[in-house]
């Protein structure tokens, strides 16, 4: 016979499961970003420590964390420039490369944030499923 979990134990199990989903999601988003954008920096074409970056930061637009339009591949040098030296210049370069249509589409998605709480376990599961589907396409 299975032991019935206490409320506290259920909450702890839920938090651990959500942590696991987030970790898997972060791995998948990097894979999707590099698959759709390539392993070269979108700005300088370099490959040194190419990484996935969010155009709209996760803290400002958490509902876009797993949105492929929001992923940008940047090398360590350009990523550093973006965060610490010339953010406005680098952002302008990204928009120049990607185009106004891309920016407008992404901005519309940003403005259409879900109401209320959305970062539930179910939300993460749906987002991961979408990322996995993108990886298996082609």
In degrees, to the nearest 5, what angle opens at C-alpha 56 toward C-alphas 52 and 57?
Answer: 75
Q: What mean pLDDT is reported for the chain?
A: 90
What Cα–Cα distance (Å) separates residue 32 from each residue in 49, 59, 79, 128?
Answer: 16, 20, 18, 11
Per residue in 87-116, pLDDT (tens digit) is: 899 999 999 999 999 999 999 999 988 877
Judged against a pLDDT cut of 80, whether residue 14 lies above it is answered with: yes
Q: What is the pLDDT of residue 1?
A: 62
**Predicted confidence band of residue 138 (pLDDT cuts 50, 70, 90):** low
Q: Give me the residues paired with residue 53 across strands.
A: 72
More confident residue, 55 or 38: 55
Domain boundaries, the chain: 37-113
pLDDT one-digit tens code per residue, 67-87: 999 999 999 999 999 989 888
3-state helix, strand, coil in the chain (%, to 5): 65, 5, 30
**Residue 20: is its pLDDT beyond 80?**
yes
**Which residue is associated with the tokens 């759709």?**
36
Locate 56 and state its tokens: 């709209």
Look up the pTM and report it. Answer: 0.80
**φ/ψ of residue 137, rounded to 5:** -65, 155
| Contacts of 18 by beta carbon, 8 Å cutoff, 6+ apart | 121, 124
Please, are residues 81 and 72 in contact by the beta-carbon 8 Å criterion?
A: no
């Amino acid at each position: 016979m299975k032991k019935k979990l206490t409320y506290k134990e259920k909450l702890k199990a839920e938090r651990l499961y959500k942590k696991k989903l987030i970790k898997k999601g972060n791995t998948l988003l990097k894979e999707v970003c590099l698959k759709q954008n390539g392993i070269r920096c979108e700005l300088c074409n370099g490959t040194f420590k190419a990484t996935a970056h969010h155009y709209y930061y996760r803290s400002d637009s958490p509902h876009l964390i797993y949105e492929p339009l929001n992923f940008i591949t940047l090398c360590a040098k350009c990523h550093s420039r973006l965060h610490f030296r010339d953010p406005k210049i680098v952002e302008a370069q990204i928009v120049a490369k990607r185009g106004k249509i891309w920016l407008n589409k992404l901005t519309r998605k940003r403005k259409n944030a879900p109401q209320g709480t959305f970062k539930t376990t179910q939300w993460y599961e749906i987002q991961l499923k979408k990322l996995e589907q993108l990886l298996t396409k082609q």
